[in-house]
Amino acid sequence: MKALKLYGKRDLRFEDAIEPRIENENDVIIKVKATGICGSDISRYAKLGPYVQGMIWGHEFSGEVVEVGPSVSHVKAGDRVVGCPALYCGKCESCKKGILSQCESLHVIGALQPGSFAEYVKLPGENVLFIPDEISYDSAALIEPSSVVVHGLYRTSLQPGDSVAVMGCGTIGLLAVQWAKIFGASEIFAIDIDDQKLNIAKEMGADFTINPLEKSAYDQIMELTNGKGVDIAVESAGSPVTSAQVFSLAKKRGQVVFMGIPYGDVLVERFYFEKIVRNELTVLGSWNAISSPFPGKEWKTTIDCMRTGKINAEALITHRITLEEGPKMFEKILEKKEFIGKVLFYPEIRL
């Protein structure tokens, strides 16, 4: 089969790879129909490099079951499925407490074992979920990032009628706008320096869009909320700058939840740090998309909301390409010469 393998920083290759085989009784082999580029993939490509040199990359995907091990009964060959890419040990203290997102050995496919940027991928049976016909393969490839968002919002005390600010309108931020609406938020403020992303956020349900290049996000939020701020501030940009600024958006006794990953030191100016102390903010971290019982209600809720049309994932997709075009696409993303939203690869299509 063909696959994309990451050998080092900015060294991604389209190569032959060994097809996965059933080795354990709970194995499931899936033909990948659509697989997406995660924001963390871009940082690893540009800054960090692979965990294992030459590893098949990728972890957000949907596909069709082609073969199952003898102990797998909930899915069968021909079923349309999505794969939860997270692998936990089940033995550490966090796992025993049911806090699977905090597993000491937690990792995802594409890191230490082959991922989804390939024609076929293998997962344990419990990681494979059936998807109904109402959900396209393209939408299903975004079930994992959607589950990341709802995992983070479950950490908050978001209630119907609350106000929410989402800082950063990439895939995670745009999904957060939709989830905030589903949770019952009365006012949603979308913040980004890219007007094209803000336009999409408006379509996704944002009540107000804010471009900090015009005036600071803090000043605009204060004007729009009569100086109060919002109940919940979501950091989804993963920028060292926004990771400090987000503290200024929450109201007194409000909450700030971090979903983005800043691949750099976060230096917090006194103005922003004092907001944590003086406003007695609750600051929450959110990691991965799983909970107990595995893979967690995040996945079931996402599938239900996509099935009923409450989550519009396809509107976030801007590029649909072959695996062979992968290396060029990652370079295009770094060049920032054109607007690129969610990118999906179709492994079964060849140039």
Each residue's pLDDT tens digit in the chain (351 positions)?
Answer: 999 999 999 999 999 999 999 999 999 999 999 999 999 999 999 999 999 999 999 999 999 999 999 999 999 999 999 999 999 999 999 999 999 999 999 999 999 999 999 999 999 999 999 999 999 999 999 999 999 999 999 999 999 999 999 999 999 999 999 999 999 999 999 999 999 999 999 999 999 999 999 899 999 999 999 999 999 999 999 999 999 999 999 999 999 999 998 888 999 999 999 999 999 999 999 999 999 999 999 999 999 999 999 999 999 999 999 999 999 999 999 999 999 999 999 999 877
CA distance 320 to 248: 38
Where are the chain's structural domains?
2-142+313-346, 149-285
**pLDDT for the residue numbered 264:** 86
Partners of 11 in the beta sheet? 8
Peptide bond into 160 cis (omega under 30): no
248/241 Cα distance (integer angstroms) = 12
What span, in angstroms and rounded, lies between the C-alpha atoms of 90 and 338? 44
Residues 6+ apart with CB under 8 A from 46: 9, 10, 334
For 139, how many CA atoms within 13 A lie in the half-sphere containing its CB? 21
For the domain with range 2-142+313-346, which CATH number is right: 3.90.550.10, 1.10.1050.10, 3.10.105.10, 3.90.180.10? 3.90.180.10
For the chain, what is the largest distance between any 2 Cα atoms, rounded to a whole number of angstroms? Answer: 62
Q: What sign results for the dihedral spanned by CA atoms 153, 158, 160, 164?
A: negative
Polymer length in residues for the chain: 351
Strand partners, 324: none
Instruction: Check residue 71 and report its DSSP letter.
Output: T
pTM, 2 dp: 0.96
The number of beta carbons lying within 10 Å of the beta carbon of residue 34 is: 24
Question: What is the reported pLDDT for 349?
Answer: 85
Q: Tell me, what DSSP letter sits at residue 46?
A: I
Distance CA 153, CA 149 (A): 6
CA atoms within 13 A on the CB side of 198: 16
DSSP-derived letter for residue 2 is: E
Cα atoms in the Cβ-side hemisphere of radius 13 Å centred on 218 = 9
**Tally of CA atoms within 13 A in the half-sphere of 171 that contains its CB:** 27
Q: 252: which strand partners? A: none
- At the topology level, CATH places domain 149-285 in Rossmann fold (3.40.50)
